[in-house]
Amino acid sequence: MDSDCLSLLPAVCLVLADPKQSPPDDTSLEKLLDWFKELHSQSNGQVLLQHQPCLLEFISSVCTSKTTDPAILSFTLKLTGLLAATTQGFHLFDEGGLLVYVFELEAWGVCDLWEDASVRSGWLQGLLDMLKHQQALGFICGNGLIKVILQLQNDRSLFAACLANQLLVHILNFLTSSNMTSGSDVVGSSESSLRPDWVSASSEIMNAVVEALSSEDCPQVLQGLRLLSLVLSQCGEPIISTLWKDVLVPLEVLVNRGSESLIQTLITVLEAALGTPLLSQSEYKVEELLEAMLGDGNRKECFQCAALIVKLEKCPEVLKRKATDIILLPLQCVSTQPQAEKGINVVLKEQLSQKASCISLLMQSLSSLAQLAHTKYLFEDISVHSITSSVVLLLRMCSGHCPSSLIHINTFTHLIGCCKVQRCGLDTLGALSVYEENLDLRKDIFGVLLDLLQSPDSHATVSMCIFVYCMLLILAASDFLPSKLIDLFPVLEKRMCDLRWEVRDSTLEFITQLTAALISNSGFSEALHTSGMVSVLLSSLADAEGYVRASAVAAVGEAVTASFHQTVLASNSKLLEDALVQMMAILSQDTEGFPRRAVVQAFTSWLKGSHLITALESSLSSVLSLGGSDFDWEVKMHTLELAEVLMEKTLTCCPYAVQNFGSSEVRFPQALIKFKDFGLFDLLFNSLFDCDRPVCEKACALLVKLRTLTAETADLDHCVLVLNVCGNRWGDEVQRRYLNKQQAKASVCVTNGVTGSDEGTDCDLHCSKDISLPKILQILDLDDMQRMLTLSSDHVVNSPRSLMEDILSAAQQSEENIVDCY
């Protein structure tokens, strides 16, 4: 326990209990409660209460005051629950009768404060937190609080109603476990299972559920169902089967009524029932109820039920199969041939004839199919091929192609240009692409995708879905792609000139992914360079939108990488040359962070590959210098990552080597000289004193690594690498730190009566312009810096002490800072 905090606690309690003070910042109370929770989990409430009598005084004073702010009262109720969660804490409260005072409704029911939802939520949360032992249960049952909780179950506040449900389930659970373990609990053993008020409490709750389910009031039914599903999923026997027997009749009525607003919740209840032993006993009719919800596929609601049932994990196969058949109906109906029309039910026809229901039904059908396909839960006797064909047909209809044999002309008009159905259809195709049966449909599918891409009317979000699916298609069958590139590239080029930045950006992202995925496909790389695509990519680097420029940088980066995987051509080096010119311009001039970040990342990825080293040499120092002085700290971070790769590559296997360095002893000093030429040290030292913590942290880590290497190279000649510390910020800082160190050392020496120094050479350091790298690394206390940086939390101080100080200082501040926004 932090003693600083505990010493501040009495003052904080006084401030919070003072009704004249307005409550602190809305987050402070929650954070304070978080701290109490943490304390509570570490030790226990009793220790806290015994050592901090101010807490009891605070709680008592808040609860007796009629002018308490609702926020403070809510906090107090929660705190009381937390502190009374141990039997000892509970007794401390109970001794003075405080607990009854805090939680008894009579105190609140008559008072206006109860009207505030936060007070009711606080009251419920307090009881929920307290209910960790039998005494708490006895308190709740003995004081008639169950009735209040049941009332709150239908509270107008969603939060309070939800908490009430949780609390009721917790009580039921507790009642059951207390019965089971009676005798084992030392404190409550003698009375646990026999207390009549407990028995009546559980029947009160269960009766309330039955009553709610039999009610005519829809919100009440909904709350009852929610509680029932919580009980089913969180309680054990005998609660579940006892309650189920009682609710079965009203539940059957509700299921047969088929009210649309209840479907979702009813399914949730049945889903919970599926996970219980109720499923295996036919008299509990779980399966029967689910089947009744599906009906014969001739009710409006059955489609929604089917969509929910196919998602259920533990659902019996037969039912899932039936639900799948219903799910397929709308799709089959739309794509059906006239001769098959007879079998289609009237409800479905009617639904499809109206635009809103037609679209929602088809979306439901498609997304359920996608889900089934993902889980590979399509049944063997359902033809994946025919489903896929139907989806393709549907997508064609969305693009305005009316099949000659179509019977539902209304449906067709509803679908034209409908992006919602297009998106769902594409998702479903994507999910179905894992099935081999569809291989022969690839050509058709690709045609539809090209059509959609070709159309300038296609919604931007549809384009995104097309690209996702195209990627799947191509990755699944790369042999199929080369022949299609001739068709694909012109369309992509067109979309890269789309008026909408969203489409241009998605297209570039797609090209980047495609290039990366097919890097070893010579046909693709060749097509990329010969089709004129590269020049369109290069021109996208000057796009008006920052996001697009960033994606263009990534695409060009991949194109350059791909080009170097192929035979060296004159066009390849031309591409790199052009790319470098434009990318350097972006890094130095672009007003947005994304493109600049992308440039540095492209360099990092080139450097990671082993082909481009020599070609990049001339640009690397500029990238390190520009990136290191960027005003966006993330650009700086990426630049440091680039520096890290550069260091690794140079110091380890050295693919970077333009000449053979020979042995590692020779190689290290050479590498250091190379680093100096690149300006790597300037970058690292400048970053070490940056105003953004992550940058300093990264630079510090790299310098520590460098220091280790320097130390490991035993006979490193210190004169090999000398850095000029004058005229730059980091140099001043190094000198300042050095002087501070010297002064500290001198004062220690004076105190100890020692004169002279064994570091005679250091004396002149502050006069010197040039200092060797190992010396600088030694002067900077990197370990200490690293420790400090790890400690720092960017000054959003999360410590409880800071929180309490803030509460106290806010209380002293007489002026109200008028609410403002970001």
Residues lying near other proteins in the complex (CB under 8 A) are found at 24-28, 30-31, 70, 116-118, 156-160, 162, 226, 264-265, 268, 354-356, 423, 460-461, 464, 502, 505-506, 547, 591-594, 631-634, 691-694, 729, 788, 791-798, 802-803, 805-806, 809-810, 812-813, 815, 817-822
**Residue 707 Cβ vs other proteins, minimum distance, rounded to whole Å:** 21
Q: What is the signed CA dihedral for 466, 470, 473, 477, rounded to 10 degrees? A: 170
Instruction: Give the residue with the Cβ less far from other proteins, 138 or 627.
Output: 627
CB of 314 closer than 8 Å to CB of 274: yes
CB of 398 closer than 8 Å to CB of 404: no
Instruction: Give the residue with the Cβ less far from other proteins, 37 or 385.
Output: 37
The single-letter code of the amino acid at 522 is: S
**Residue 474 Cβ vs other proteins, minimum distance, rounded to whole Å:** 21
**Residue 281 Cβ vs other proteins, minimum distance, rounded to whole Å:** 26
Instruction: Give the residue with the Cβ less far from other proteins, 356 or 719.
Output: 356
Instruction: Give the residue with the Cβ less far from other proteins, 70 or 297.
Output: 70
**Residue 568 Cβ vs other proteins, minimum distance, rounded to whole Å:** 34
DSSP assignment of 449-508: HHHHHH-TTS-HHHHHHHHHHHHHHHHH-GGGSHHHHHHHHHHHHHHTT-SSHHHHHHHH
**Residue 302 Cβ vs other proteins, minimum distance, rounded to whole Å:** 17
Instruction: Give the residue with the Cβ less far from other proteins, 135 or 604.
Output: 604
**Residue 431 Cβ vs other proteins, minimum distance, rounded to whole Å:** 15
Instruction: Give the residue with the Cβ less far from other proteins, 491 or 808.
Output: 808
**Residue 602 Cβ vs other proteins, minimum distance, rounded to whole Å:** 16
Phi, psi dihedrals of residue 154, rounded to the nearest 5°:
-105, 30
Instruction: Give the residue with the Cβ less far from other proteins, 418 or 559.
Output: 418
Instruction: Give the residue with the Cβ less far from other proteins, 258 or 447.
Output: 258
Residue given tokens 């009524």 in the structure block: 257
Instruction: Give the residue with the Cβ less far from other proteins, 346 or 796.
Output: 796
Tell me if residue 148 falls in helix, strand or coil: helix
The single-letter code of the amino acid at 125 is: Q
Instruction: Give the residue with the Cβ less far from other proteins, 185 or 632.
Output: 632
Using alpha carbons, select from 96, 95, 89 the residue that is nearest to residue 131: 89
**Residue 228 Cβ vs other proteins, minimum distance, rounded to whole Å:** 14
CB of 602 closer than 8 Å to CB of 583: yes
Beta strand 722-724 with 770-772 is antiparallel
**Residue 444 Cβ vs other proteins, minimum distance, rounded to whole Å:** 26
CB of 702 closer than 8 Å to CB of 640: yes
- Paired strand residues for 772: 722
411-417 contacts, C-beta under 8 A, 24 or more apart: 411/334, 411/352, 411/353, 411/358, 414/354, 414/355, 414/358, 414/359, 415/334, 415/358, 415/359, 415/362, 417/457
Instruction: Give the residue with the Cβ less far from other proteins, 116 or 246.
Output: 116
Report the half-sphere exposure of 404 (CA within 13 A, side-chain side).
0
Q: b/e for 668-678, b at 16 or more Cβ within 10 A?
A: bebbbebbbeb
**Residue 355 Cβ vs other proteins, minimum distance, rounded to whole Å:** 5
**Residue 651 Cβ vs other proteins, minimum distance, rounded to whole Å:** 29
Instruction: Give the residue with the Cβ less far from other proteins, 534 or 635.
Output: 635
**Could you check whether the bond before residue 238 is cis, i.e. omega within 30 degrees of 0?**
yes
How many angstroms separate the CA atoms of 103 and 98, rounded? Answer: 9
Tell me if residue 723 falls in helix, strand or coil: strand
**Residue 68 Cβ vs other proteins, minimum distance, rounded to whole Å:** 14
**Residue 412 Cβ vs other proteins, minimum distance, rounded to whole Å:** 16
Instruction: Give the residue with the Cβ less far from other proteins, 225 or 579.
Output: 225
Residue given tokens 């009251």 in the structure block: 123
CB of 683 closer than 8 Å to CB of 628: yes
Tokens found for residue 392: 């393709």
How many angstroms separate the CA atoms of 606 and 603, rounded? Answer: 5
